[in-house]
Chain A
Amino acid sequence: MALDLSIIADNAGLFAKGAVATVYISLAAIAAGLLIAFPVALLRLSPRRVMSWPAMAYVELFRNIPFIVMLSLFFYGLPFFGLRLQPMTTGIVALALFGSAYFAEIVRGAILSVPRGQMESARAIGMSYLRALREIIFPQMLRFFIPAATNTSISLVKESAVLATLSVAELTYQGLIVQGQTYAPFEVFLATAAIYWGLTALLAAGFRASERRLGGQGRRGFSSRHRLAARYLSLEPEPRS
């Protein structure tokens, strides 16, 4: 069978509207998620159980419950607490909190990746805890933080598709609408997927640019000393001699 591209062209407006909404939702959730992640990570790192335990429970809750279930909990649960939000807002809040749990673990790992002595020296020369974090720890943890945070950001863009179940007019929802009108699921979902692919590729490209600026070492190749074993242990093309 041939792909009927006119279906995509005829509905380009809906796809574009959906893509814009998906970008808006994802960016809002990523920004809010990052903001929430820092205090959660700091609490999680606290030596005091009363502080670290709730932060750990928060992270585990969001990481172990499927987002589609979480979203529906927010949708039906928030009104119980007197919060009546638009489905779009509910979706962004849920996605941001979901993301914050993953971001918090990355922040925690990134802070732990900086040698202890850095914080101890900073405190020893009289910096406050927060100032040491800001001026000594944060700049050093970026190398660890940015690649992992990019992956989570990409996950959030993909996870935002689930908002379609609340009839939020984002990309997947528009895809379902176009599919309902045209009965051409193959073309429609392939086009939808292609747009997501483009969006996530854009994010990944932005990350690579920032990695170059920070002087990351990139992907390391398989040592040429072990060319024999590389027949089995490396999936990259053989290095030229």
Chain B
Amino acid sequence: MDFSVEAALAALPALLRATGTNIAIAAAAMALALAGGIFLTILRSLKIAPVNLAVGVVISFIRGTPVLIQIFLFYYGLPALGLQLDPLTAGICAIAFNSTIFISEIMRGGLADMDPGPVEAAIALGLKARAIWGKVVIPQLLLRILPPLVNEATIILKGTALLSVITVVELFRTAQQISATTFRPFETMLAAAAIILLLNVLVSQFGGMLERRLAVRRG
């Protein structure tokens, strides 16, 4: 069988449409994970021993097990606890939960590297904890951890392809469906790979641009 460029090109429009789903899933998961990561970080900073112990176990579990299994647990496992989610919701929740844990770990590292001076000044000025988090710690932290956050965004984007296994019709599943009718799986997958490669490179570039602009503003 010869390689058919036409087959790859013919698959492109449908694949590009399907990529919209990946982008939407990734955006939703990233937003949830960022909020979740900030929440978890503040929770851990309270240093309530039993809570932090439980959080530690969850962190270890999420970091030590495949995302694929976590997706299965959210989609196939949660109904056993009386929570039935549709594939898309279950998938977004699984990826967001996974990423919340990783972002909270990124934030832990970022906090440890931060200059204690401004925080001490804020405490000395009598700012309330809410203001210290909202106006001093979080803005500086986000600026500082921007590079790993952009990296996490590309990991999330790559993770969206895994949702094909719980029947979410996104880029990879669409590629499989097209392959099944055209019998051109290699060409179709190559086109799909090119699309997501380009998307990830764009996200990384955008992240780099953002970093440079913010670095200028930080002066």
Listed in ascending order, the chain A residues whose CB lies under 8 Å from chain B are 1, 60-61, 64-70, 72-73, 76-77, 80, 154, 158-162, 164-165, 172, 175, 179, 184-186, 189-190, 192-193, 196-197, 200-201, 204, 222-223, 226, 228-238
* Complex interface: chain B residues within 8 A of A159 (CB): 66
Sample (17) of A-B pairs whose CB atoms are under 8 Å apart: A64-B154, A68-B164, A69-B172, A69-B189, A154-B64, A158-B67, A159-B66, A162-B66, A197-B61, A229-B117, A229-B119, A232-B119, A233-B111, A233-B114, A234-B45, A235-B44, A237-B52
* Complex interface: chain A residues within 8 A of B204 (CB): 64
* Complex interface: chain B residues within 8 A of A165 (CB): 165
Interface SS of chain A: helix, strand, loop or mixed? helix
Q: Which residue of A lies closest to B3 (CB)?
A: A80
Q: Are A77 and B186 interface neighbours, CB within 8 A?
A: yes
Interface SS of chain B: helix, strand, loop or mixed? helix
Q: A66-B172, A76-B185, A76-B189 are in contact. List 4 more A-B contacts (CB 8 A).
A: A72-B189, A77-B186, A184-B80, A193-B70
Q: Are A162 and B162 interface neighbours, CB within 8 A?
A: yes
CA distance A158 to B71 in the complex (A): 13
From B52, B60, B185, A235 is in contact (CB under 8 Å) with: B52
Q: Which of B187-217 contact A (CB under 8 A)?
A: 189-190, 192-193, 196-197, 200-201, 204
Q: Does B132 contact A (CB under 8 A)?
A: yes
Known contacts: A76-B185, A158-B67, A161-B66. The answer to whether A1 contacts B80 by CB under 8 A is yes
Q: Are A232 and B69 interface neighbours, CB within 8 A?
A: no
From B77, B111, B133, A186 is in contact (CB under 8 Å) with: B77
Q: Are A190 and B190 interface neighbours, CB within 8 A?
A: no
CA distance A37 to B213 in the complex (A): 34
* Complex interface: chain B residues within 8 A of A64 (CB): 154, 158, 196-197, 200-201, 204
Q: Are A185 and B72 interface neighbours, CB within 8 A?
A: yes
Give the 7 A-B CB pairs with smallest separation, nearest first. A229-B116, A185-B76, A186-B80, A161-B66, A66-B158, A226-B116, A66-B161
From B45, B80, B176, B186, A73 is in contact (CB under 8 Å) with: B186
Q: Does B5 contact A (CB under 8 A)?
A: no
Q: Which of B157-192 contact A (CB under 8 A)?
A: 158-162, 164-165, 172, 175-176, 179, 185-186, 189-190, 192
Q: Does B32 contact A (CB under 8 A)?
A: no
Q: Are B119 and A233 interface neighbours, CB within 8 A?
A: yes
CA distance A226 to B3 in the complex (A): 64
CA distance A67 to B66 in the complex (A): 13
From B68, B112, B162, B185, A222 is in contact (CB under 8 Å) with: B112
From B112, B117, B123, B172, A68 is in contact (CB under 8 Å) with: B172
* Complex interface: chain A residues within 8 A of B63 (CB): 154, 200
Q: Which residue of B lies closest to A192 (CB)?
A: B69
From A65, A186, A192, A229, B123 is in contact (CB under 8 Å) with: A229
Q: Are B41 and A235 interface neighbours, CB within 8 A?
A: yes
Q: Which residue of B lies closest to A179 (CB)?
A: B76
Q: Are A68 and B133 interface neighbours, CB within 8 A?
A: no
Q: Are B197 and A237 interface neighbours, CB within 8 A?
A: no
Closest Cβ of chain A to B89, distance in Å, is 17
Known contacts: A69-B192, A162-B162, A193-B65. The answer to whether A229 contacts B45 by CB under 8 A is no
Q: Which residue of B lies closest to A187 (CB)?
A: B80
CA distance A185 to B80 in the complex (A): 8
